[in-house]
A and B are shown apart, each in its own frame.
Chain A
């Protein structure tokens, strides 16, 4: 677990480090070796069996071109979904009466990864691409209802998607993307803060979770995003004296 957290931290740092070519090389020398910064936001539709409600997210990619059609892109994504109370129940006994409750909590999801981006030849200002990669995701649970031991966990993730960038003027653009964010080795019960003695086992059939779940399976989460792209140094040599 500590290794995963260290990897996550390293990936975050590397995602925001200024790439060497952005500091040293000039667009004239290696025109394709430019970095594309993508600030993005959107919506993650978590797999229903995971017990998480759909939620918005924000994130950032740094697309570092290796060849004109291939790039590596460290990325970071943050989302704060809420667990779905339909999946997590509790019972409290008051004297000879038992009451039943739904329990939900906000959780923070952080995913850091490295994606390979394969660009398809542009059509006008329209630049489609496909991407795939892997990384580490971490969930931070509500510390007010989880014990210190259970308030955080992390696992590996995969990602596969496709999108397109629409070039605007001045090295900027818009990016639209759909991808399958695959969380490996998921465990829905980790989102359940209810202690064993408050579990409802006597009338469990009456409060069944809407779906069954296989612990340790991979969950597929659909991510829709819109991003604002910016290419550093793209305007070098073209700015007017006044702009400098």
Chain B
């Protein structure tokens, strides 16, 4: 091989080696902090602190018997229902019967006098000035609302039999399409047990329970307002993730509302955000039927819980949640399936408040031209 050929090959080797060395020494590292898009401003959800704020459907059963002691005269049963949502495609119907062991028998419609007690204007104390409607000889109603009390009073004349007959001890409040003479097949969401006092003794009051009634005690379900969650607003998107919610009683589903109040604390029109769904990537699966249907990994029968739920609400404008002077609460509520679509019930299961940077942002943060 000639010197020229050797030099040529040596030059080639040098060039290739240099290129390989350059390539090998190139510093290329992972990039983990390359921001994309605008951030989200987050807030937390938690159950309201007091029972009055939670305002779950409930009520009381009060049983009284006139004196004197030893009298066998019929008593009176007064059933007060509170925090019910007005229904548009169904009624609440009250039944009375006998629970013996794990058996329910002798159930009849609790026909009586119904007083619908509504607060007047801003008066919410039901012992003060009230607007009361009285209807005789009924066992059902579709009335309801925040601070509205439905009071059924049963006596021998209205019921057709002694409401305090020995053995009678249970009141069921069903939610159904129309009034019937026997309880519907679906489970009653409100139920309670009472005892009859002796004639002339003090009236006995017990609470109604909210959940799923079953004659068999071990299968009964009492709803608890529990759960937690976190939400965020990113531009025109509100996203909510809730976890560990109690499964809704039969006939109810979870939904979210935006509640605006002005600077004086006056409530503005609520905005319905929609029903909760399974979390991403299954947001197309609604939890509307979580009361009756389980979803693998999301809705469980035992324990009766929803492990994770979400809601994604997209507005048409970046300023949809801008209020300037005021406050916006996002609330998770239980809605009756017989109520008007998108109507706000009295109850509040979870509540969160949008951060100030969302409701009253600085001008730069509202600039919709930002990526």
Contacts and interface: CB of A to CB of B under 8 A. Distances in A.
Interface residues of A, number: 30
B34 A106 contact: no
B7 interface: no
Given A202-B239, A202-B241, A203-B239, A100 B36 contact: yes
A140 interface: no
A82 B28 CA distance: 9
B280 to A, nearest CB: 5
A101 B34 CA distance: 5
Given A201-B241, A202-B40, A85 B280 contact: no
B37 A207 contact: yes
Interface in A82-128: 82, 85, 89-90, 93, 96-106
A102 B31 contact: yes
A142 B29 contact: yes
A103 B239 contact: no
A204 interface: yes
B237 interface: yes
Interface string B9-41: 000000000000000000011111111110111
A96 B43 contact: yes
A144 interface: yes
A47 B74 CA distance: 84
A97 B280 contact: no
Contacts of A243: 1-2, 5
Given A203-B232, A203-B237, A100 B29 contact: no
B70 interface: no
Nearest to B34: A102
Contacts of A202: 40, 230, 232, 239, 241, 280, 310
Nearest to B240: A202
Interface string A25-39: 000000000000000
A101 B33 contact: yes
Contacts of B28: 80, 82, 106
Interface of A: 80, 82, 85, 89-90, 93, 96-106, 142, 144-145, 193, 201-207, 242-243
Interface of B: 1-2, 5, 28-37, 39-43, 230, 232, 234, 237, 239, 241, 279-281, 283, 310, 312, 355
Given A93-B42, A100-B35, A100-B39, 7 more contacts: A98-B40, A102-B36, A193-B32, A202-B280, A203-B232, A204-B281, A243-B1
25 contacts: A85-B36, A90-B32, A93-B42, A96-B41, A96-B42, A97-B39, A97-B41, A97-B42, A98-B39, A99-B39, A101-B35, A102-B34, A103-B30, A103-B31, A104-B30, A105-B29, A106-B29, A144-B29, A202-B230, A202-B280, A204-B280, A205-B280, A205-B312, A243-B2, A243-B5
